[in-house]
Structure 1
Amino acid sequence: MEITQKIENWASLHYPAWFDFVRMGLGVFLFAKGFIVLSQIDAVQTFITNINLLNGSHINWSAQLLVQFIAYIHIIGGLFMAVGFITRLAIFFQIPILLGAVFFTMPGIRMSAENNLAQGGVNFVWSEINLTHNPVEWWTALITLILLISMFIIGSGPWSVDKYLEHYEEE
C-alpha cells in the first residue's frame, strides 16, 4: 500500500466533522483575499518591484502578471476549497504563495541589497524589533499556511464535492 493511500485511510477514519467548516471558511477567506490582492494591485506590484531592485538582477519580473497569478490562484483555489472540489490540488497551488507571504512579511526581517553569499541575491538580515511594524499580516499568513498543510494531509472531508463524486462513481 502506498504512503498516500495510508494517509488517505487514516484521514478518513480520524476526520473531525468540524474541520469541514474550517476548510469552507478558509476557502472563503482565500477567495476574498484574492479580490483584496486585486484591489491593492499597485502596492503589491511596488513590493515585488522593490524585491527585484534589491536583488540587483536584470531579470524583468512581470509584477502585474505575478500579482494577477497570485490573486486568481487565491480566487479559484479558495472557491474549490470552499466547496471541496479537487481540494488537495487547490491547496498544492496555495502553499507556495503562503510560504512566500510568511517569508516576506516576517517581523524583524529587513531586506538588504548587500549580499555576500551569492551574486545578485537578496540578503535577509535580522534587524531590531520594530514596534511600529504590525505583524498581523504575518500571523494571518502563518496560521493560513498551517491550516493549508493540515488540510493537504487530511483531505477534503465528508461534506465536499470530492466525497460526493467518490460515492457517485461507486454506484
Structure 2
Amino acid sequence: MNWVQQVDQWQNQHRPVAYDYGRIILGLFILYKGLTFIADTSALAEIIQNSQFKFLALGLAHYVAFAHLVGGVLIAIGLITRVAVGFQIPILIGAVFFFNPGQGFFSVNPQFAISLITLIALIFYFVGGSGYYSVDHRFESNEKKLQQKKTGLSA
C-alpha cells in the first residue's frame, strides 16, 4: 500500500471535519479569485498588452480563468479533487515565483502571502485528497458496496 492510500485510509477512519471545511473554503476562495480575475478586465488587458507573446498571454489568461472557475467548484464539492488541484498548482507557482516575488510577506498589498498560503494549501490537498465528506468518497463507497453485492451474489 503506497503512502497516498495510507493517507486516504487514515482520513476515512478518523473523519476530520476541519479537513473538509478547509477544502470547501479553499475551493470557494479559488472560485472567488477566478471571478475577480475575469471581472478585472483592465488588469487582464494590461497583462496581455505588456506581454511580448500576446497570443500566449491570452491563452494563459483563459486557462487561469477556466481552471479557477471549474477547479474551485470541483475542489469545494470534492469531485476529482487531486486533478482539480493539479491544474491549480502551476498557476499558483507562477503567481508566487513570477508575478508577486517583489512584494514582501508583510507588504501593504498581501498578494504574495495569499498566493503562498494558497499554494501550500493546494499541495496539502493534493497529497491528502478530497476527504471523507466529498463526492469522491461517496462514489468510492458506492463502488465498494456494488463490488460486495457482486461477490456476495456470485459466491
Task: Mark yes or no: TM-score above 0.5.
Answer: yes
Alignment correspondent of 1:98: 92
Q: How far is 1:5 from its partner? A: 2.7
Q: Which runs of 5+ in 2 are unaligned?
A: 146-155
Q: Which runs of 5+ in 1 are unaligned?
A: 54-58, 109-128
Matches within 5 A, 1:38-77: 38-50=38-50, 52-53=51-52, 59=53, 61-77=55-71
Higher strand share: 1
Aligned match of 2:110 in 136, 153, 166?
Answer: 136
Give distance in 2, aligned partners of 1:32 and 1:75: 8
Contact persistence 2:48–2:54 (CA under 8 A)? no
Contact persistence 1:95–1:149 (CA under 8 A)? yes
Give distance in 2, aligned partners of 1:134 and 1:102: 16
Percent identity between the two aligned chains: 38
Contact persistence 1:107–1:135 (CA under 8 A)? no
TM-score by length of 2: 0.80
Q: How far is 1:66 from its partner? A: 1.4
Alignment correspondent of 2:33: 33
Give distance in 1, aligned partners of 2:132 and 2:12: 8
Q: How far is 1:49 from its partner? A: 4.6
Aligned match of 2:128 in 133, 154, 159?
Answer: 154
Higher helix share: 2
TM-score by length of 1: 0.73
Q: From the superposition, tell whether residues 48 and 101 of structure 1 become closer, same or farther in structure 2 (CA, over 3 Å).
A: farther
Q: How many residues end up aligned between the 2 structures?
A: 143
Give distance in 1, aligned partners of 2:54 and 2:102: 27
Root mean square deviation of aligned Cα: 2.3
Alignment correspondent of 1:164: 138
